[in-house]
Amino acid sequence: MSELDTHTQVYRVDLGTRSYDIHIEPGCLDGLGKAMGDLFDTPSRCMIISNVTVATLYMAQVRNSLEQHGWQVSECILPDGERYKTMDSFSRIMDALMHARLSRNEPVIALGGGVVGDMTGFAAACYRRGIPFIQVPTTVLAQVDSSVGGKTAINHPHGKNMIGAFYQPRLVWIDPLVLTTLDIREIRAGLGEAIKYGLIRDAAFFDWMQQHMQRVQDLDAGDLSTMIHACCRHKAEVVMADETEQGIRALLNLGHTFGHAIESMTHYSEFLHGEAVAMGTLMAARLSEQLGYAGSGIEEQIRDCYQQAGLPTAIPNFSADAWLDAMGHDKKNIGDRIRYILLHNIGKAFVAEHVDPAAIRQLIHSYG
Ligand code: NAD
Ligand code: GLY
């Protein structure tokens, strides 16, 4: 990795009038109230949106920090899980916002992982045609990826994240210490998303991840901060270059076309998002080899890395028709064409829009 600066704590995501800071600092959760004071002229009403699990752990701490700085805080606490990333939960958030009578300039705070962050962002985009929102991500996945970049959404029975908007947060406030309460399986799923940046655009970071895999799983403070910094820098660079995914941002979807199909075919109940994306990435790597875009061995190299990270690497068994049908519902497709993110090398991904379905059938059959 070129320059790892573990001391830098703030990145600016420069998007003109939609610019914002990503603040990364162990222990910064208590400082949110002050930071919000710097962001808004006068403290007023705000709402913290979270889920039952995260609220039990961190709601009081965040609430205190805000109240100490003059904020009048209300809460909306949702059930926990991807299966609640729905229109019902969205309605519950809307009801809570109406009930609290938040006005156009009063912010919502997403306190949780990617599910809470995506839903809160979408609600913020819609309520009164847009109110400010703050991301306080509490999972590895959310700290290295989903809290930055303004993709917000809820799921529909016909597909994941099908209803949503690009809507940027006003601040991303990352406290790596909150990860100490996270389940090891969730930590590992988040590492899959961190490895992704190495695969797409930074071979040296891929090597770094391999060398530090045990230490980041053990939540070594220095290595964890280094990893989050590197990922946020990558994410910010990509988003600044292509906010609404007209070009290179699509590369961040490596593994997602197959991964979303795995999630949908297993009814969002068997695998975590990061696990499904890891398996999807292995499939993309095999397809890249099969089509001659990458030299042989790349799939094996990635599998070794995922195994070190404790991620699942056995692709679930479904018919080729089921795979193609599930992928046909992916929102990243253009018309009837399914888009794939493939690899030339570790560190070099590209978008392939003209993959013959016969090649996908061959890929699926290769898993027996
Ligand atoms: P999640 O939000 O469901 O969180 C995982 C689990 O960890 C949940 O049970 C949660 O309650 C719990 N949890 C969260 N923080 C905790 C903490 N500090 N201590 C203990 N438990 C904690 O899952 P996720 O992996 O964070 O996010 C997945 C979602 O993110 C998916 O819906 C995916 O579509 C979305 N996503 C969005 C983007 C984006 O750019 N917007 C990118 C990647 C993924
Ligand atoms: N996580 C993919 C993106 O933000 O574009």
Q: For the residues of 284-308, what is the DSSP string, one character each?
A: HHHHHHHTTSS-TTHHHHHHHHHHH
Active site residue 300: no
Cα dihedral angle (159, 160, 166, 172), rounded to 10 degrees?
170
Exposure class string for 227-252: b at 16+ Cβ within 10 A, else e? bbbbbbbbbbebbeebbebeebbbbb
Residues with CB under 6 A from ligand 2: 145, 149, 151, 249, 252-253
pLDDT of residue 2: 37
| For ligand 1, atom 17: residue with the closest CA | 182
pLDDT of residue 221: 87
Q: At what angle do helices 184-201 and 203-217 cross, to 10 degrees?
A: 170
Determine the Cα–Cα distance for residues 346 and 208; give it in Å rounded to an integer.
13
Section 170-189 average pLDDT: 97
Active site residue 129: yes
Burial of 10 (0-12, 13-18, 19+ CB in 10 A): exposed
CA neighbours within 13 Å on the CB side: how many for 202?
A: 24
Going from the Cα of 207 to the center of ligand 2, the distance in angstroms, rounded, reads: 22
Q: Residue 151 in contact with residue 2, Cβ under 8 Å?
A: no
Helix residue ranges, H only, the chain: 32-39, 52-54, 60-68, 87-100, 114-126, 140-141, 184-201, 203-217, 221-241, 256-265, 273-290, 298-308, 320-328, 357-366
Determine the Cα–Cα distance for residues 58 and 111; give it in Å rounded to an integer.
8
Active site residue 235: yes
pLDDT of residue 334 exceeding 60: no
pLDDT of residue 3: 41
Right CATH for 9-181 from 3.40.50.970, 3.40.50.2300, 1.10.287.3510, 3.40.50.1970? 3.40.50.1970
Domain boundaries, the chain: 9-181, 188-365
CA neighbours within 13 Å on the CB side: how many for 26?
A: 13
Right CATH for 188-365 from 1.20.1090.10, 3.40.1360.10, 3.40.950.10, 1.10.3720.10? 1.20.1090.10
DSSP label of 80 = P
Q: Is 79 helix (H, G, I), strand (E, B) or coil?
A: coil
Q: Which atom of ligand 2 is nearest to the CA of 249?
A: 5
Determine the Cα–Cα distance for residues 94 and 164; give it in Å rounded to an integer.
15
Going from the Cα of 45 to the center of ligand 2, the distance in angstroms, rounded, reads: 30
DSSP label of 167 = -
Section 304-310 average pLDDT: 98
pLDDT of residue 335: 54
pTM: 0.94
Query: In 10 A of CB 72, how many CB atoms?
Result: 13
pLDDT band at 123 (very low <50, low <70, confident <90, very high): very high
182 lines ligand 1 (CB under 6 A): yes
Q: Which atom of ligand 2 is nearest to the CA of 252?
A: 2
| For ligand 2, atom 3: residue with the closest CA | 252
pLDDT of residue 4: 42
Going from the Cα of 331 to the center of ligand 2, the distance in angstroms, rounded, reads: 13
Going from the Cα of 67 to the center of ligand 2, the distance in angstroms, rounded, reads: 33
Section 156-178 average pLDDT: 94
Section 146-155 average pLDDT: 97
pLDDT of residue 41 exceeding 60: yes
How many angstroms separate the Cα of 181 from the Cα of each of 43, 54, 187? 30, 9, 10
Going from the Cα of 105 to the center of ligand 1, the distance in angstroms, rounded, reads: 27
pLDDT of residue 230 exceeding 80: yes
pLDDT band at 68 (very low <50, low <70, confident <90, very high): very high
Identified catalytic residue from 63, 92, 151, 229: 151
pLDDT of residue 329: 59
Determine the Cα–Cα distance for residues 54 and 52; give it in Å rounded to an integer.
6
Section 339-344 average pLDDT: 95
pLDDT of residue 74 exceeding 70: yes
Active site residue 51: no
50 lines ligand 1 (CB under 6 A): no
Determine the Cα–Cα distance for residues 342 and 255; give it in Å rounded to an integer.
8
Identified catalytic residue from 235, 263, 275, 339: 235
pLDDT of residue 336: 61
pLDDT of residue 333: 57
Active site residue 85: no
Identified catalytic residue from 92, 243, 253, 286: 253
pLDDT of residue 152 exceeding 90: yes
Going from the Cα of 118 to the center of ligand 1, the distance in angstroms, rounded, reads: 9
Q: Which atom of ligand 1 is nearest to the CA of 142?
A: 26
pLDDT band at 332 (very low <50, low <70, confident <90, very high): low
Strand partners, 219: none
Which secondary-structure segment (H or E) carries 154?
Answer: strand 151-156
Active site residue 270: no
Least confidently predicted of 67-76, 106-115, 217-226: 217-226
Going from the Cα of 356 to the center of ligand 1, the distance in angstroms, rounded, reads: 34
281 lines ligand 1 (CB under 6 A): no
**For the segment 239-296, what is each residue's pLDDT rounded down to a tens digit?**
999 999 999 999 999 999 999 999 989 988 899 999 999 999 999 999 999 999 999 9
Please give the residue that has the higher pLDDT: either 334 or 101: 101
Identified catalytic residue from 92, 160, 188, 260: 260
Q: Is 122 helix (H, G, I), strand (E, B) or coil?
A: helix
Q: Checking phi first, is residue 111 left (phi over 0); if not, alpha (psi -120 to 50) or beta?
A: beta
pLDDT band at 338 (very low <50, low <70, confident <90, very high): confident
DSSP label of 3 = -
Active site residue 344: no
Q: Which atom of ligand 2 is nearest to the CA of 238?
A: 5
| For ligand 1, atom 2: residue with the closest CA | 113
Active site residue 212: no
pLDDT of residue 222 exceeding 80: yes
- The whole-chain average pLDDT of the chain stands at 93
Least confidently predicted of 61-75, 78-92, 138-152, 322-336: 322-336
pLDDT band at 368 (very low <50, low <70, confident <90, very high): confident
